[in-house]
């Protein structure tokens, strides 16, 4: 994996769910080569708690675990998040699990022991998928990789990370309202989002945009127009 891809992964939080402590330790140490923020859980119950608190962008989970297994854990996550990237790592290739995982829209399936080549392939696909430019409206394109807006292929607008993430979130939920709760969970991970902070953030972002594409839905959130 080249340095550019490694740099992009550094700012992405990932959650590792594995019930065997020795295996989890090895996997976590491997993941820390790619990611700065690596969270770890010993089963699906703890994994879901950490998912709700930290809102990672990627989940790497085992399947057969005590208490809450991987399939049940993924089902709980998918009920509230259809988009998060999920990698499954397991020693088993049972057809029953495979069908469940296909239905749960798993992004990558890796057999144990963790194969670095397979992990690299999965991470490269993740970066490629999340680095594609997004057309926000006619003539206005969001370049995820460069964190820039391009207007009519001429004007370039540089964005801060939170601004890029917000526009990406609106685009991902196009034709749906992004609620205040979703915005806080996705963009204000480390601190509470105040009404004043959100209004100030939206005002600053709108001042950068050449066209008004952000509509406020009172008492609910925002939508891309």
Residue that is last in its domain, among 79, 99, 130: 130
Residue 146's pLDDT is: 82
The domain total for the chain is: 2
Q: Are residues 156 and 88 in the same domain?
A: no
Give, for all 225 residues of the chain, the pLDDT tens digit. 677 778 888 889 999 999 999 999 999 999 999 999 999 999 999 999 999 999 999 999 998 888 888 999 999 999 988 889 999 988 766 566 667 777 788 888 888 888 888 899 999 888 888 878 889 988 899 988 788 999 987 789 999 989 999 999 999 888 889 999 889 988 887 778 999 999 999 999 999 999 889 999 999 999 998
Structure tokens at 97: 């699990």
Place of tokens 């296909």: 102
Domain enclosing residue 140, as ranges: 132-224
**Residue 81 shares a structural domain with residue 156:** no
* Per-residue pLDDT, 1: 67
Please report where in the chains the tokens 């989890």 appear, as a residue.
24
Q: Which of 34, 33, 25 is nearest to 126 (CA)?
A: 34
Residue 182 CA to its chain's centroid (Å):
13
- Judge if 28 and 115 occupy the same domain: yes
Three-state secondary structure string covering 72-99 = HHHHHHHHHCCCCEEEEEECCCCHHHHH
Q: How many angstroms separate the CA atoms of 220 and 174, rounded?
A: 15
Q: What is the CATH number of the domain that holds 205?
A: 1.10.10.10
Residue 111: what pLDDT? 83
Contact between residue 77 and residue 84 where contact means Cβ atoms under 8 Å apart: yes
Same domain for 136 and 214?
A: yes
User: Is 183 within 8 Å of 169 (Cβ atoms)?
Assistant: yes
* Greatest Cα-to-Cα distance within the chain, rounded to the nearest angstrom: 56
Residues 123 and 166 in one domain: no
The string of DSSP letters for 7-74 reads HHHHT--EEEE-S-HHHHHHHHHHHHHH-S-EEEESSHHHHHHHHHHH--SEEEE-SS-SSS-HHHHH
Q: What is the CA radius of gyration of the chain?
A: 19
Closest C-alpha among 8, 2, 13, 1 to residue 37: 13
């Amino acid at each position: 994996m080249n340095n550019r891809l490694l740099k992009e992964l550094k700012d992405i939080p990932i959650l590792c769910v594995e019930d065997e402590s020795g295996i989890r330790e090895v996997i976590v140490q491997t993941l820390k080569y790619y990611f700065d923020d690596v969270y770890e859980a010993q089963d699906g119950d703890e994994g879901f708690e950490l998912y709700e608190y930290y809102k990672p962008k990627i989940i790497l989970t085992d399947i057969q675990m005590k208490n809450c297994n991987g399939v049940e854990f993924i089902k709980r996550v998918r009920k509230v998040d259809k988009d998060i990237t999920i990698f499954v790592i397991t020693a088993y290739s049972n057809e029953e699990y495979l069908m469940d995982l296909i239905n749960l829209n798993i992004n990558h399936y890796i057999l144990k022991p963790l194969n670095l080549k397979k992990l690299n392939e999965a991470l490269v696909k993740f970066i490629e998928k999340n680095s594609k430019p997004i057309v926000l409206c006619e003539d206005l394109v969001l370049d995820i990789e460069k964190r820039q807006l391009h207007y009519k292929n001429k004007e370039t607008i540089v964005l801060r990370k939170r601004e890029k993430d917000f526009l990406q979130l609106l685009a991902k939920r196009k034709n749906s309202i992004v609620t205040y709760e979703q915005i806080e969970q996705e963009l204000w991970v480390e601190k509470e989002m105040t009404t004043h902070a959100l209004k100030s953030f939206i005002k600053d972002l709108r001042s950068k945009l050449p066209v008004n594409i952000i509509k406020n839905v009172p008492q609910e959130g925002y939508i891309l127009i």
